[in-house]
Amino acid sequence: MARLNDKVALITGAARGIGAAIAEAFVREGARVWVTDLDAAGSQALAERLGPQARAARLDVREEAQWQAVLADVLARDGGLQVLVNNAGISGLEGGAVHNPEQAELLEWRAVHATNLDGVFLGCKHGIRAMRASGGVGSIINISSRSGLVGIPAAAAYASSKAAVRNHSKTVALYCAEQGLKIRCNSIHPGAILTPMWEPMLGEGAQREANLAAFTADTPLRRFGRPEEVAAVALMLASDEAAYMTGSELHIDGGLLAGTAVRPQSGPQEK
């Protein structure tokens, strides 16, 4: 039996990258999946590729009215919601803006938080209501980041927003338990995952290979992660296999948070 049979899932920021990989994994395991994104054409193209189990909708996660409208459509057309993946996010660096703590502009700071944090808040708020209306059972999965656990000098707004997502996930988990709902909430913290946002920084040919090596030099596993590896963890959290997991955070970072992979050049060595 497929692991997500009879479950309806909504994924934000699903037109590409990690969100698209999660949508593919969920459909493969039997879920009916709503592929949502600000990029309406991209979400529609993916839904068409995934087949009749997928629907597409344009969703700007910053807009509460859009959350209400899309989730009303989900409930009307599919009868419930059991899984919500709050994946939509931006780094704020896409347009070349400066994001260090001294020179970041307030408008840029707020723009990152509007998508990364307000979007997750609104998703959780209305996701809980939709799941309550569906029987009070579900799984909310918030995509945070390794950057939400460590400081990032050149991406202060991104790091701050992802740290807040981590904490809010725990708050949501406790609230749902307090309410007597069987709605779980957990966060995933990817680091160094090779998604389209990396491509402009990698270049082509020999330069690309050199940059790949440089970017992963401090990663114990010495490689980028793949979107489907994040999707595998999201699939587990969405399934009934994770029924006793809530308020947890899972790291998918090739060992980055475990410590340095650099070995000392001198001194005592382990036998």
**How is residue 101 written in tokens?**
């703590």
pLDDT of residue 263: 53
Q: Is 158 a catalytic residue?
A: yes
pLDDT of residue 269: 43
Q: Would you give the DSSP letter of residue 264?
A: P
| Average pLDDT score over the chain | 93
Confidence of residue 206 (pLDDT cuts 50, 70, 90): confident
pLDDT of residue 261: 53
Residue 270 has pLDDT above 60, yes or no: no
The distance from CA 12 to its chain's CA centroid, rounded to whole angstroms, is 8
The residue among 149, 5, 137 whose CA lies nearest residue 80 is: 137
Residue 268 has pLDDT above 80, yes or no: no
The predicted-structure confidence for 155-204, as pLDDT tens digits, reads as follows 999 999 999 999 999 999 999 999 999 999 999 999 989 887 777 677 78
The residue among 69, 81, 82, 67 whose CA lies nearest residue 120 is: 67
- Domain annotation for the chain: domains and CATH numbers: 8-195+226-252 (3.40.50.720)
Q: Name the active-site residue from 158, 162, 172, 246.
A: 158
Judged by DSSP in three states, 78 sits in helix
- Model pTM score: 0.93
Nearest-10 Cα torsion for 6, 43, 147, 249? 0
pLDDT of residue 72: 98
What amino acid is encoded at 266 in this protein? S
239-246: long-range contacts (C-beta < 8 A, 24 or more apart)?
239/3, 239/4, 239/29, 240/3, 241/3, 242/139, 242/184, 242/186, 243/184, 245/184, 245/186, 246/173, 246/176, 246/177, 246/184, 246/185, 246/186
pLDDT of residue 116: 98
Stretch 61-70: mean pLDDT, rounded? 98
Residue 208 has pLDDT above 90, yes or no: no
